[in-house]
Structure 1
């Protein structure tokens, strides 16, 4: 008999954190699930840990593949999943015991396409005692793309109907923000969505986390995703808060590129980026409500390479 829920965990060199993650899953009060551990070519003892858990619990299934990145591992999990509901967890995060019982209860009770809980960022897992939360349901899920406080652009704090995901997959060419693109594509297809006020998902922050890496690939990927989302919403004829939020994300991703160029003394790259996107940035400053301090910060980044360097590079260099 097939399980109701497929929980997909991409695993890559997570030996320091993996046991905590898997124990938090296996402690779920909702028991009708399969746990798909997708080992993405780990070079440490992660695979051994996965196999140990599979030997203890028949719900755990280990799938090995060559290294291809987190999106590739999640996509393999989607291809292997048997449940009518889908959830994702990263191999170094944790979840509270009632997470899937409550969220699937909302999926079934409210008959929505996907449900989203809240997230806490912390250095180590601290279980939150369960209290009954509130549920908000919308027939206009796109409006939630601009919702604050719910980590809407993460794939990890959600349960989806498998039929909603269908053939949609994570973009394996992106180094950063692949979650945001995937979620936008899913929400574009959804007719109904629910938000649960409970904090069930614990995002454990580490010094070696991808999100803390300052590389050209990270910021290029961030820009490409935000540009694609904005263009996609434009093509769909979306108006209102969702499009406005997408435009702000798009403009800020350009400013992030300029910030990276200033920090790493890349004058030619800065000038090219500013030339290509000056109109977008000018419009952003014109139509976006900003505090005076933030407006001046953004303005100094987009006036010129020399001005941005004088304000943002040389003072920091002297302090260091």
Structure 2
């Protein structure tokens, strides 16, 4: 019998952190889930650590693949998943004892599930401090693009997707080793809604060598994915009639990273498809570009990761 939920953990050289994830799963009040670990080419003892949990009170599946980036691990996890719902639980995160139970309880309140992609709750730091800010209401239906750009919600959040939706929207694997999750979340937002709830579901502990801490460096080294994301964010903002400031902000970031990538102006205009905003973005983007050149690229966690 297939489990209701697949809890998915992508891991790259995080063997020391996995026991904390495992312990939080052992404490779950809801038991009908599997833990799927996709090892993205680790060189540490991840496999040995996982194998010691052969008597776990829930099914554990370990899948090894060559290193390709977190987004490729997510794609593999979605392909392998047996659960109706898919929870991404990173190796440096852990969940409350009732998180899976609460996730399903919230799904039960969603009308017309076929119109919704996910339900999303809150992260806190180990200290109990909220990561980012809260949603506008305790129960709020929106989508990831609107919640960030219109309602000014920021900071990492913890969610649960319908697995079939993630199969419908795989991450592109031809854009380099880093693809921001927002690229796919925004694509999903064109078709599906999200139910946001002001409940704490997980704990977040950023790692010094993680994706968030190396925000700028990773985006500079993944220019194809970065430019695709910002060009699509501009298109989505125009399509949905978001305030012009939202369009301009994404245009500025597009031009900023296009300058880093030495992308010719003609190619920029063809990809961005918003020549007016390209022109308005040029000077502020140049300022950000020059500032980037003066800044260290590692160890800085931005206030907003978008």
- Normalised by the length of structure 2, the TM-score is 0.75
d(CA) in 1 for partners of 2:286, 2:169? 40
Counterpart residue number, 2:194: 193
Post-superposition Cα deviations, 1:198-256, rounded to whole Å, max 9, x if no partner, equal 2323332121112333253145532331213333x37xx72222886355234224335
Post-superposition Cα deviations, 1:72-130, rounded to whole Å, max 9, x if no partner, equal 2111111111111111111222222222222221111223422111233x4xx34689x
Q: CA 1:68/1:211 → structure 2, altered by over 3 Å: closer, same or farther? A: same
Counterpart residue number, 1:22: 22
d(CA) in 1 for partners of 2:5, 2:70? 20
d(CA) in 2 for partners of 1:36, 1:229? 31
Task: Please report how far the alpha carbon of residue 54 of structure 1 lies from its aligned counterpart in structure 2 after TM superposition.
Answer: 4.0
1:13-162 correspondence to structure 2 within 5 Å: 13-111=13-111, 112=113, 113=116, 114-120=118-124, 122=125, 125-126=126-127, 135-138=138-141, 143-146=146-149, 147-149=151-153, 151=155, 157-162=158-163
- Give the greater-gyration-radius structure (CA): 1
Unaligned runs of 5+ in 2: 270-274, 296-306
Counterpart residue number, 1:264: none
Q: Secondary structure at the match of 1:185?
A: helix
d(CA) in 2 for partners of 1:81, 1:98? 22
Q: CA 1:160/1:224 → structure 2, altered by over 3 Å: closer, same or farther? A: same
d(CA) in 2 for partners of 1:246, 1:201? 32
Q: CA RMSD in A?
A: 3.6
Q: CA 1:193/1:64 → structure 2, altered by over 3 Å: closer, same or farther? A: same
Counterpart residue number, 2:280: 283
Task: Please report how far the alpha carbon of residue 164 of structure 1 lies from its aligned counterpart in structure 2 after TM superposition.
Answer: 2.9
Post-superposition Cα deviations, 1:168-211, rounded to whole Å, max 9, x if no partner, equal 21222343343011111222221x42111123233321211123
- Runs of 4+ in structure 1 over 4 Å off: 126-129, 139-142, 272-279, 311-314
Q: Secondary structure at the match of 2:196?
A: strand
The number of aligned residues is 276
Q: CA 1:204/1:11 → structure 2, altered by over 3 Å: closer, same or farther? A: same
Task: Please report how far the alpha carbon of residue 299 of structure 1 lies from its aligned counterpart in structure 2 after TM superposition.
Answer: 7.2
Q: CA 1:273/1:49 → structure 2, altered by over 3 Å: closer, same or farther? A: farther
2:218 is aligned with 1:217: no
Q: Secondary structure at the match of 1:29?
A: coil
- Normalised by the length of structure 1, the TM-score is 0.72
Could you tell me whether the CA contact under 8 Å between 2:123 and 2:201 is conserved in 1? yes
